[in-house]
Structure 1
Amino acid sequence: MDLAERYQALVNGATLVAESAEDAYRLGALDRILKPWIRSSLDSLGGLFASCDTSHQLAEDTRALATTAASYSELREQLFSDLHHTRPEPPWRTVARGAMAIRAQSAVLLRQPTFVLRRLDAGLNVPGARTWEFAVITKPSDPMDKGTSFVVMVSADDQQTGVPIAVSKELESERAWYQQLEYGFYSLGIRPVLTALQDPDRHLKRPTDDGDVL
């Protein structure tokens, strides 16, 4: 077996780790997001072999493959436990550094939503901003629940005091969800500036006929 075949065997092994975790820790609606993500990640890492020129690069690439698969397996176990086991309130969990995080709240005693915050493809961005999706899944155990999604615009400019975040009025009005959005960004290492949190009654105000705000 030559080196290329051995590398492909590692890719196959990493895929087996992912599939085994998916079979052991079923996550319902979250699989719509997680399964395509891990396969895309492993495919991308598998393609790195073509550009490997040194033993150091090979070591880094094989380590990245093994680590990604193992981390995914651990993440699924954590999220499964967050949803189905009695334990302290679960935190936001990082899926992809700087790009995706999930908070799966316990469903043991009452139904609670699961939150997913993820950056969308760069092609969807607008000048000066990055496009994110904030999804609220109210029936996380149901594989058919696609959740309620909100587009979130994040400033791409460097900010010393925090990163301005723009969302729809609909999300601002869901105060508990809006607060979770802030926590989600913090978990990804992004310090958000959510204006409506500084004005708790902002979502209740409405303009009068003369343009003033009640």
Structure 2
Amino acid sequence: MSLVERHRALSRGALLVAESAEDAYRLGGLDRFLKPWIRGRLDALAGLLDSCDTSRQLAEDTRSLAQAPVEYSKLREELFSDLHHTRPEPPWRVVERGTMAIRAQSSVLLAQPTFVLRRLDTGSDVPGAATWDFTVLARPSDPADEGTAFVAMAATGGEGGRLPVQVGKELEDERAWYQQLEYGFFALGLSPFLTAIYDPDRHRGQG
């Protein structure tokens, strides 16, 4: 069997690991974010074979391809447990550093929203800023729940490492959600500056 054939077999095996995790740990509304992400990730890692020039590069790239679905499987297990088990309050879980994170809160005792923060790769980012999607799923276990989506614009550079983030008034008015947006950025290794959080009088007197 040639290297190309063996590499194709590895790619099929990696997808099998991902699909097995999807069958074992069903995540409802989160799947429309996670399933495309892992398939894109596996395709990108599989494509590295074309640029491998040494055996060390091949070893590193195949290791990455083999590890990616394992980490994805563990992530799905953690998110499933966050939603369906009684345990300490779950943290934001990083899907890809600097790109996407999810916080799934327990629904055992009461219905709570799940939050998804991800950077959009649309090619439409304005100079000096990146476009982010912040989605709130009210019924995360329901595959039909598309959630409530908000757009956030975050600077790609800021003084002292703080990144100014601009959102619409609709999200600012949802104070608990707005706070979660800040936590999501911190989980991704970024330091956001959300002005409304530090302005306690901003919403006083508003009905």
**TM-score for the superposition, normalised by structure 1:** 0.93
Q: Deviations over 1:92-151 (max 9, x none)?
A: 000001100000000000000000000000502112200000000000011011100000
Which ranges of structure 2 fall in alignment gaps of 5 or more residues? none
Alpha-carbon distance in 2 for matches of 1:18, 1:114: 22
Pairwise CA RMSD of aligned residues? Answer: 1.1
Q: Deviations over 1:144-165 (max 9, x none)?
A: 1110000000001242151111
Asked if 2 retains the 8 angstrom alpha-carbon contact of 1:117 and 1:133, the reply is yes
Percent identity for Structure 1 against Structure 2: 68
Q: CA deviation at 1:176?
A: 0.2
Query: What SS does structure 1 have at the residue aligned with 2:26?
Result: coil
**Superposed counterparts of 1:53-132, under 5 Å:** 53-132=53-132
The residue identity in structure 1 corresponding to 2:126 is V
Q: Which runs of 4+ in 1 moved over 6 A?
A: none
Asked if 2 retains the 8 angstrom alpha-carbon contact of 1:169 and 1:203, the reply is no
Alpha-carbon distance in 2 for matches of 1:204, 1:73: 45
**Superposed counterparts of 1:146-161, under 5 Å:** 146-160=146-160
Asked if 2 retains the 8 angstrom alpha-carbon contact of 1:172 and 1:203, the reply is no
Choose 1 or 2 for highest CA Rg: 1
Asked if 2 retains the 8 angstrom alpha-carbon contact of 1:122 and 1:130, the reply is no
Q: CA deviation at 1:201?
A: 3.2
**TM-score for the superposition, normalised by structure 2:** 0.97
Alpha-carbon distance in 1 for matches of 2:128, 2:203: 26
Q: Report what 1:212 is aligned to.
A: none
Q: Deviations over 1:21-45 (max 9, x none)?
A: 0000000000011001100110111
The residue identity in structure 2 corresponding to 1:51 is S
Q: CA deviation at 1:178?
A: 0.2
Alpha-carbon distance in 2 for matches of 1:43, 1:205: 52
Alpha-carbon distance in 2 for matches of 1:157, 1:94: 21
